[in-house]
Structure 1
């Protein structure tokens, strides 16, 4: 069924790519690594098509983040934190990570919105915290747009570069994903080290 839906969406051209990018923000299956690499390989015959893919996937990714931002606005800080605390482990979003980035939003919401786009799971669901904190919508959207554009561009370009490769594409894609995941792990370790020096994360309730 997943294959059929993917084939149907891809048959719609850039509109289908936008739908896939939006859906990935709501439920990251397949992960953006796989989706964007595949789009770059299979749906970008030239640079003009690659630019169109970048535009629509970036816009759709930002729209998905704004969906979670709106949900956070509706929930408010306490209910949003409770929701992540209860269900975060099912989407690989640790409660402590959520609290840390929430605190980063309070210090510099533009930088935090940008950085969040480069962290697995966080990039999909942390906009809930931005909405719950009632961060200004326009700066949040612009920073998210920039982060999503950089993230999407990297994978689309990698896929585009491999479109005519004589190598086995699934193997090459797997190697690129492995490298990116390793870099993400290093990034997360660096963040946790910095957070450990800053002290334990606190919930909104304890800060009130």
Structure 2
């Protein structure tokens, strides 16, 4: 993974932007892996780190807007069929997508924000937002806030791991495992916990 990423990063900020945008279209590598890597290897100082945050966040919101436009273009029925047919290939359960899509009708700002912290959903739920023709400005603002918080956490973590004297990649791996465990716990609570779904506005 490191060699291809390093090659792309050889293009500078353009390479970073392309990686961040592509991750929103097809989450390979996962965003937390990419952001930790960028924080560890592409940010020699705080000003550069701030620029990386700006570039990755703007690229992420651009990717979300692409999927929003796709959803708006194809409509709700075709969007549902698209996810139902192909969601399994990107680890997106149709039931989860459908439940969050229904919650969009009632709490579109809250769901847009929280979706940025849920694996795979953060990439493809904008399709539902567009298909439901939710207001673009609140959707974009909530998604931007969520993406900013997400990107900031992992970029700063990667940056702090630089030169710490520890095995950065081993520490990064442990962080990724913890994040995946927390995401899995959230998904299980969303799937099996009616009280949690109501509290979060998903039920």
Distance change >3 Å, CA 141–CA 53, structure 1 → 2: same
Distance change >3 Å, CA 37–CA 116, structure 1 → 2: same
How far apart, in 2, do the equivalents of 1:50 and 1:4 lie?
21
Alpha-carbon distance, 1:4 to partner? 5.9
1:106-146 Cα offsets, whole Å, 9 max, x none, are: 01100010010000000001100000000111111111000
Match of 2:89 in 1: 90
How far apart, in 2, do the equivalents of 1:90 and 1:156 lie?
28
Match of 1:15 in 2: 14
Q: How does 1:1-208 map to 2 (within 5 A)?
A: 5-195=4-194
How far apart, in 1, do the equivalents of 2:71 and 2:194 lie?
24
How far apart, in 2, do the equivalents of 1:86 and 1:196 lie?
30
Q: TM-score, normalised by structure 1?
A: 0.90
1:32-74 Cα offsets, whole Å, 9 max, x none, are: 1110000000011111111110011000000000010010011
Match of 1:203 in 2: none
Distance change >3 Å, CA 4–CA 38, structure 1 → 2: closer
How far apart, in 2, do the equivalents of 1:138 and 1:80 lie?
21
SS in structure 2 at match of 1:142 = helix
How far apart, in 1, do the equivalents of 2:107 and 2:147 lie?
18
SS in structure 2 at match of 1:135 = coil
SS in structure 2 at match of 1:126 = helix
- Listed as ranges, the gaps of 5+ residues in structure 1 are 200-208
Distance change >3 Å, CA 160–CA 198, structure 1 → 2: closer
Alpha-carbon distance, 1:196 to partner? 7.9
Structure 1 residues 182-191 or 43-52, which shifts more?
182-191
Match of 1:202 in 2: none
Distance change >3 Å, CA 84–CA 195, structure 1 → 2: farther
Alpha-carbon distance, 1:169 to partner? 1.6
SS in structure 1 at match of 2:43 = coil
Contact 1:100–1:195 under 8 Å retained in 2: no
Alpha-carbon distance, 1:190 to partner? 2.0
Distance change >3 Å, CA 161–CA 3, structure 1 → 2: closer
Q: Aligned Cα RMSD in Å?
A: 1.7
How far apart, in 2, do the equivalents of 1:146 and 1:177 lie?
22
